[in-house]
Homo-oligomer: A and B are copies of this chain.
Amino acid sequence: MARETGKKIRYAVIGQGYISQAAVLPAFAHAEENSQLVALFSSDAEKRRELGEKYKLEHVYPYEDYDRVLRSGLVDAVYIALPNSMHRDYTERAARAGVHVLCEKPMAVSEEECEAMIAACKQHQVKLMIAYRLHFEEANLKAIALLREGRIGEPRIFESLFTQQVEEGNVRLRKELGGGPLPDVGIYCINAARYLFGTEPIEVSAFAASRGSRFREVPEMVSAVMRFPEDRLASFACSFGASSVSSYRVIGERGDLLVEPAYELAGTLIHRLTIDGKADEIKFRKRDQFAPELIHFSQCVLEKREPEPSGQEGLADVRIIRALQRSIETGRPVSLPPFERVRRPDMTLEMRRPPVSMPELVNAAPPSGK
C-alpha cells in the first residue's frame, strides 16, 4: 500500500493550458500521500520557465523531448491535458514507453481512437484513467446516492444546461483540435445523465445553431434529447456563446433534485432537493476535485488495480458525442447499439470516501496564460 511503503507515483503534466495551470499543477500539493509532480511539458518556453520556477521543477521540456524523457525512467505516469485531438498520440507513446496514463476528457475525438488507446495501454500493461473530476466530487457523488436510495422515487427526466462564453482565439473553437461545445461542456451533461440514471442511452437527437464569426469551425451551441432504458428521457443544452450556467435536474415520481452550480471546477455546488413538495437546500464547499483523482490513480498503479473512470467510461461518452454529431449532420435521430458498461462500482461516496481525501481548494485562481 502506498501509505505504508511511502512510495509515490512520479508524474509529468503534458500541456499547460487553463486546466493544468488552474487545477492540475496546484492539485499535487494535496496529493502528496502518493503522488509527486516531477516534470512538465509545454511548447511555450516562457510557460516552461515560469511554471518550472513556480513549482520548483528542474524537469521542464518541449514536446520534442516527450519520448526520450518517458523512456528515461524519470516519470511513472503522465497527466495529458492537451487538445482533444492529441490525446490518442500522446497516450499511445506513453504506453509504448511503459508510462501510465491519466488523460483529460473527452478521451479522444472518435470511438476508433478510444479503442486504440485502450488497446495500447492493455498491450503495454500500463494503467489508463480518464480524468472525470466530478466522479470524485462530493455533490455529484451524493446526488447519485440520493437517487439510488429512491429519495425522489423512480427517476423519470434528466435535464441539464452547461453554457459559457468562449472568446475568439481559444483552441476550443478549433475543429481540427477536437474543439466544440459538445466535447468540451456537453460531455458533462452526457456523463451526468449516465451516472445519475446508471444506464446507457439508446437513441439521441440534436439540433445545432451558430451565430457570429467565432463559430466558423464548431457550432455555437447544441440542444439534445437522449432516450434511456426504463423509458426515461434526458435533454441538455450546451453553448460557447451564452452566459455561464451549469445545472442539472432529475425529476422523479415523487420529488426532484436540482444541482446548481453542478459542474463548476471551483465553486460551492448546491443541491435543492424537493420531496413530496418539501424543499431542502444543501451546500457543498468547494474542494480540490483533482487531488482525489491523482490519489486514486496513483493508488491503482501502486496496487495494480484497474482505475475508474476507465477507458471504457471515456469511450461511452465519445460514442454518444459522435452519435449526436451524426444526428446534427444528418438531421435525423441516431440509434445507439447496446454498450456493455460495468456500472461504475467506484463512483459512490462509500467507495470514494475512505481512500480518497477531498481537500479544501486553496488555489483556483485563473492562470495567467491560456
Contacts and interface: CB of A to CB of B under 8 A. Distances in A.
B231 A206 contact: no
A227 interface: yes
A243 B225 contact: no
A260 to B, nearest CB: 9
B251 A256 contact: no
Contacts of A333: 205, 207, 331-332
Interface stretch (A52-60, A153-161, A360-368): A153-161
Contacts of A227: 207, 209
B165 A253 contact: yes
A243 B237 contact: no
* Of listed A157, A227, A239, A241, residue having the most chain B CB within 10 A: A157
Given A159-B159, A242-B157, A209 B231 contact: yes
A199 interface: no
A223 B157 contact: yes
Contact of A235 (B153, B203, B223, B274): B223
B241 A156 contact: yes
Interface in A10-37: none
Contacts of A234: 223
Contacts of A255: 243
Interface in A148-171: 152-154, 156-157, 159, 161, 163, 165
A262 interface: no
A233 B251 contact: no
Number of copies: 2
B161 A249 contact: yes
A234 B159 CA distance: 13
Contacts of A222: 233
Contact of A205 (B161, B205, B243): B205
Helix, strand, loop or mixed for chain A's interface?
strand
A231 B207 contact: no
A186 to B, nearest CB: 13
A58 to B, nearest CB: 40
A110 interface: no
A244 interface: yes
A221 interface: yes
Contacts of A225: 205-207, 223-225, 235
A252 interface: yes
B165 A157 contact: no
Interface in A196-234: 203, 205-207, 209-211, 220-225, 227, 230-234
A35 to B, nearest CB: 34
Interface of A: 152-154, 156-157, 159, 161, 163, 165, 203, 205-207, 209-211, 220-225, 227, 230-235, 237, 239, 241-245, 249, 251-256, 274, 277, 331-333
22 contacts: A154-B211, A156-B211, A156-B220, A156-B241, A156-B242, A157-B237, A159-B161, A205-B205, A207-B233, A209-B232, A210-B231, A211-B230, A220-B231, A223-B225, A224-B225, A225-B225, A233-B237, A242-B252, A243-B253, A243-B255, A244-B277, A331-B333
